A = this chain, B = another copy of it.
């Protein structure tokens, strides 16, 4: 098994480089990236196979924890919610330890009414039976086209085959099987050295896989993310931390502003590292939180970079805001602007569109105080002093990683947001998604 790394510098440099990087420490932290995705932590296995939902590719995945794992989850805020999410919420109402997650791509099982509910429950029952675990310890997830019934015969066949294909190195197969229009599988894992009182660090791991790549908007996106850790952590603390960090990662990305019916992110913590349970307020927990944020932000950026038709990853930084929520609102407005995104695609440094998008974000600010930077190049200074060097601005907009910084000079709060450019390929992909 080769080491897989996703150094920040690698994002946007093409699939090969991303997949072939070398695992390395993350500077300034107590963790480093390792291979294995969701199967990197102890006590997890996974598989991804083809069962006949999609035309050619792997379309069903299974993630299994040997021991019952504490589970935290976040679901879409869309009022139209897909059947599997209704089922999962029902399961998690009573039971917050989970042993398995079954996921299909190619069909969202959304807007499918009573039949869809029966199908989602059947996926849970069949998976529980195939693994010999209680039904209450299985979650189900679906992604793909909306408004079509699942091909249950193929899915049941797939579910029955999956247990025999489970392996400790199956994380990447699972990452591939959950892809829809994603152009590459998204996974990451960290090896984390938790500080202890005796000076000998404890080692735990976090792994994750995710898929994008259309219908990506905050709260959350057509995105699925499944995370695993062999740390031990109480469910309420896990849920609290997970929810908060999703607010800084998956809820800070946008591909097209469309929020999906199927978004979910789940984390399983099975304690198989045999490291003492993490508790709030400790140094060890602070390191774990930082590592989890790293994993979530990295997956979020991979999703933004791999937005349908995208050729660039764009980070929007809003500084000098009166509150973090206003900074987020302004950044999101820029990130969702079709006019900004097409200008970036064409490497046209049409900065007026950025200011216009902040202008209609709904926050109160004085446009005459705004400063604008592309990477570290000043574009606009206060009082509308236009500083733009068109040649250098075009150079920056021609890169695959672009940072747009907007300083409102209204306060001290800030927020980051990630998006991609809008290309003709986005239109091409989405004009014929179902064909």
Contact = CB atoms under 8 A, between A and B. Distances in A.
Interface of A: 77-81, 108, 110-116, 145-148, 214-215, 217, 219, 256-261, 336-339, 342-343, 345-346, 348, 350-353, 355-360, 363-365, 367-368, 380, 383-386, 388, 422-424, 426-435
Contacts of A429: 342
Contact of A111 (B345, B355, B426, B427): B355
Contact of A433 (B145, B259, B348, B357): B348
A356 B148 CA distance: 14
B258 A356 contact: yes
Contacts of A339: 214-215, 256, 258, 430
A114 B383 contact: yes
Nearest to A149: B386
25 contacts: A78-B356, A80-B358, A81-B359, A81-B367, A108-B352, A111-B355, A111-B384, A113-B383, A114-B384, A115-B384, A145-B350, A146-B355, A147-B351, A147-B380, A215-B356, A256-B338, A257-B337, A259-B360, A338-B426, A339-B430, A342-B427, A342-B430, A343-B430, A348-B431, A348-B432
Nearest to A116: B384
Quickly give the copy total for this chain.
2
Nearest to A336: B257
Contact of A430 (B80, B113, B338): B338
Contacts of A78: 356, 359-360
Contacts of A352: 108, 110-111, 145-147, 261
Given A108-B352, A342-B426, A348-B434, 11 more contacts: A77-B360, A78-B359, A81-B367, A111-B384, A111-B386, A116-B384, A145-B350, A147-B388, A215-B339, A258-B339, A343-B430
Given A367-B79, A383-B113, A348 B435 contact: yes
A356 B424 contact: no
B147 A261 contact: no
A259 B77 CA distance: 25
Contact of A113 (B358, B368, B433): B368
Nearest to A337: B258
Nearest to A421: B431
Given A80-B359, A258-B337, A359-B259, A431 B345 contact: yes
Which 3 A-B pairs rank lowest in CB-CB distance, beginning with the nearest? A146-B352, A346-B431, A113-B384
A235 B401 CA distance: 53
Nearest to A110: B352
A351 B80 CA distance: 13
Contact of A356 (B146, B342, B432): B146
Given A422-B427, A427-B342, A433 B256 contact: no
B146 A80 contact: no
A215 to B, nearest CB: 6
Contacts of A115: 384
Nearest to A430: B342
A396 to B, nearest CB: 16
Given A108-B352, A112-B384, A145-B352, A427 B435 contact: no
A424 B351 CA distance: 22
Contacts of A110: 352, 356
Nearest to A359: B80
